[in-house]
Amino acid sequence: MTSPGRAFPWIAVLLASAFLLNHARPAKNNGPYDFQQIRRIPVSADGRVKPLDTVARNSLMIISGRQTFRLNGLRQPAIRWLADTIARPEQSRGYDVFRIDHPDVLALMGLTHADGKRFSFDTIMTHQNTISKQAQQAMQITGKKRNPFQKHLLKLYRHLILFSRLSQLDTPYTVPPVDGRESWEPMSKIMHAVHQSDSNMPASAAYITSIMSAYNQNDPQRFNRIASQYHHYLKSLMPRDVRKTGYEIFFNDFEPFYLATVLYVIAFVLACMSFLLRCLSRPVWPESLGKAAVWLLILTFVVHTFGLGSRIYLQGRPPVTNLYSSAVFIGWGCVLLALFLERLFRLGLGSITAAVIGFVTLIIAHNLGGDGDTMEMMQAVLDSNFWLSTHVIAVTVGYSATFLAGFLAILFILLGVFTPVLKPELFKSLGKMVYGVVCFAMLLSFVGTVLGGIWADQSWGRFWGWDPKENGAVLIVLMNALILHARWGGMIRERGMMVLAIAGNIITSWSWFGTNMLGVGLHSYGFMDSAIFWMFAFVCSQLLLMGLGMLPTKMWRSFSKPEAQQPTQPTPSV
C-alpha cells in the first residue's frame, strides 16, 4: 500500500473526530442576555424533571416542526422563543412559528401556501371563533373517522392551547418541591395563591418572577445576575436534579444522533467506493477505503452508543420505552451485528449494510420525535424495568437481526440482477451471512415472545390473547422458522432464502409499526396514521424486490454469460 493509501483511514478518523469535538464545545451567548443560565433551570413536565431548554425545544418542535425560529432574518434558539413567550408575550405572538400544512385549514383563514408555511399567533387568532367552532365539531368525531382537514385543524387548535398555557405559566411546572412544598407546581398556581391570600411568594417563584421581569424591562445585567443566583440556589437545594439537567443541556447541544446520521452517510460513501474498486480489481485503494469505512463506522457506533446511554441515564429506564427509542435501538443493534459480520467476512457489504440501516433508522427516529418529549413518562402497564430490560430488548434485537438479514438479501438480489459482481465467493458468503443472522433472529424473537407472554400473564392475567402486537411477534418467529426449515429441508437454496428474508422485512415492519396504526389492542398506546403511506410504500418496495429475486437466473446480469465461460459459478436455484 502506498503512503497516501496507508494514511487515508487515519485522516478520515481524525477529520471525523474534529467534527465531533467541534459540536461538543459549549454553546456561546449571542447578545447581552445569558440564556445559558435559564436553559439549565430544572422544571417538571411530561412526568419527569428536565431543563427549561428541553421544554423550549420540544414545544417549538411541536408547534413549528423545528427547534429554532427566525427573527429579523436571523436564526434564534428555542429558549429565546420561550423567554419571549413568557416575558414578552405581545412580541412573541407576532413570530411566525405555527406551521400549517393543510390547504383547507389555510383557506379557513383566507390564506394559501403562497403566504408561507408558518404563521403568527396574532394572524391565526383573527379567526379564533371560526377555528374554535370547527375544532369543537371535530372533537365530536372519533379519531379514526376524522378526515384530514379535521385532524390538521385539531392539531393547530392544540398548538394554540399549548402556546397559551406556556405564556400563562400553566406549563411547565417551574416551582420545585423546596421551601416546604411536596411537589412541583406551576407558577400560575403560586401567583394566584399569593394574590388571593396576600402571602409571601416562595423564594424559587420570586427568583423566576424577577428573571422574567428583568427580561421584560430589557435589563440584561439584572437578568444575568438573578439567573446566576437562582442557579446556585437550586444547586445547593437539589444538586442531583441540577447536575442531571446540566448533562441534558450538553446532550441537547451535542445532538449525537444527528452527528451519527451524518457520519453514517460518509461511511456509506467510503464503503461503496471500496466495494466498487474491489470489483474492478484496482490495487491499494479498495483496502484503504474499506478500512477507513470500518474505522469511521466504529467511531459512529461509539457516538450512537453514547446517545443511547445518555437517554438511559436521563430517563432512568432501559433503552427501549417507545417507538422513537425502538428506532434508535434497532439501528444500534443492526450496526453492531453488521460490524461483526464485516469482521468475519471482510467483503465490504457489512459496512454498507451498517451505514444504510444506521442512517435509515435514525431518520425514522427523527420523524418520530416531532410530537414532543421522546423521553416521556412510561405507561403504567409498562412501568417495569425488569421486563423492559428482558422482553423488550430481546424482541427489539430480534427485529434488528431480521431487518439485517432482509437488507443483506436485498444486496444479494440487487447485485445479482443489475451487476456482474455476484461471483461464487460473494454468492456463498452472502448466503452464510443471511443464514447465520436468521438463526440469531429466530432465537431472540422466540425468547422475547415467550418472555412477553410471561409479562402479559403477570400484567393482564393471561399468557396469550391474540392481540395484534402478539400476532406480529409470533409471525416474526414463524417467518424465521419457515426460512430455516425450508433451507434445512432442501426446498430452497441461497436465492430462495434471500426472497424469504425480504418477506421477513414486511412481517417485521408490520409488527413494529403496523399494529400501532390499527389503534386497537392492549399493546397500542396511541393511534398513529401519519406513517400509513410510508408503510404501504415500504411493503410495495419489498414485494418488488422479491419479484426481482424470483426472475429466471438468465435475466440476472451476474449469471447471464454462457455457462461454459464460468464453470465454477454456482447454480442460483430457488
The larger pLDDT score, comparing residue 114 to residue 480, is at: 480
Average pLDDT, the chain: 89
pLDDT digits (tens, 9 = 90+) for 499-523: 999 999 999 999 888 777 766 666 6
Higher pLDDT, 202 or 198: 202
406/506 Cα distance (integer angstroms): 9
Of 158, 207, 216, nearest in space to 187 by CA: 207
Average pLDDT (147-171) is 93
pLDDT beyond 70 at 346: yes
The pLDDT of residue 373 is 76
Q: Looking at the predicted structure, is the pLDDT value of residue 62 above 70?
A: yes
**Which residue in the block uniquely carries the three cell numbers 384530514?**
148
Judge if 535 and 416 occupy the same domain: yes
| Residue range 290-330, pLDDT digits in tens | 999 999 999 999 999 999 999 999 988 889 888 889 999 99
- With cut-offs at 50, 70 and 90, classify the pLDDT of residue 356: very high
pLDDT for res 327: 92
155 Cβ neighbours under 8 A, 6+ residues apart? none
Share above pLDDT 70 across residues of the chain, in percent, rounded to a whole number: 92
Q: Do the domain assignments include residue 12?
A: no
Q: Closest Cα to residue 357, out of 268, 439, 276?
A: 268
Same domain, 416 and 556: yes
> How far is Cα 318 from Cα 391, in angstroms, rounded to an integer?
11
190 and 295 inside one domain:
no
Is the predicted pLDDT of residue 382 greater than 70, yes or no?
no
Q: Is 2 a member of any domain?
A: no
Q: What is the pLDDT of residue 563?
A: 43
Do residue 182 and residue 298 come from a single domain? no
Per-residue pLDDT band for 282 (boundaries 50, 70, 90) equals low
Beta strand 68-71 with 42-45: parallel, antiparallel or unpaired? unpaired
Same domain, 282 and 429: no
Q: DSSP letters of 363-393?
A: HHHHHHGGGS-TTPPPPGGG--HHHIIIIIH
User: Does residue 425 belong to any structural domain of this protein?
Assistant: yes
pLDDT bin (cut points 50, 70, 90) of residue 383 is: low
Q: Which domain holds residue 509?
A: 396-561+568-574
Number of domains in the chain: 3
Q: What DSSP letter does each residue of 244-312 carry, written as one string? A: HHHHHHHHHHH-HHHHHHHHHHHHHHHHHHHHHHHHTT-SSHHHHHHHHHHHHHHHHHHHHHHHHHHHH
Spacing of C-alpha 492 from chain mean position: 37
Q: Do the domain assignments include residue 10?
A: no
Amino acid at 420: P
Mark which of 211, 246, 281 sits at the end of a domain. Answer: 246
Instruction: Note whether residue 50 is domain-resident.
Output: yes
- pLDDT-based confidence at 568, cuts 50/70/90? very low
Q: To which residue does cell 427516529 refer?
A: 365
Rama region for 373: left / alpha / beta (φ>0; ψ in -120 to 50; rest): beta
The answer to which of 46-55, 176-185, 387-396 has the lowest mean pLDDT is 176-185
Do residue 140 and residue 105 come from a single domain?
Answer: yes
Residues 402 and 494 in one domain: yes
More confident: 371 or 360? 360
Is residue 71 assigned to a domain?
Answer: yes
Domain boundary among 246, 270, 302: 246
Could you tell me how many residues make up the chain? 574
What is residue 51's predicted lDDT score, i.e. its pLDDT? 95
278 contacts 348 by C-beta, under 8 angstroms: yes
Domain stop point among 204, 219, 246: 246
* Least-confidence region, from 128-137, 246-255, 363-372: 363-372
pLDDT of residue 279: 79
What is the pLDDT, as a whole number, of residue 561?
61
pLDDT over threshold 60, residue 525: no
Are residues 262 and 240 both part of a single domain? no
Q: For residue 560, what pLDDT is reported?
A: 74
Q: Are residues 430 and 547 in the same domain?
A: yes
The per-residue pLDDT for 564 is 37
The average pLDDT across 167-189 equals 88
282: cell is: 484496482
Asked whether residue 87 falls in the same domain as residue 233, the answer is yes
Please compute the mean of the pLDDT values over residues 195-215 and round it to a whole number.
87
Return the pLDDT at 524.
60
Residue 379 domain-assigned (yes or no): no
Mean pLDDT of 525-546: 81
* 229 & 91 share domain: yes
- Please tell me whether residues 233 and 328 are part of one structural domain: no
pLDDT at 214 over 90: yes
* CA distance to 353, 420, 425, 541, per residue, from 556 (Å): 22, 8, 17, 19
- Is 148 a domain residue? yes
Q: What is the pLDDT of residues 5-25, one digit of tens each?
A: 678 899 999 999 999 999 998
Nearest to 64, CA basis, from 48, 50, 85, 35: 85
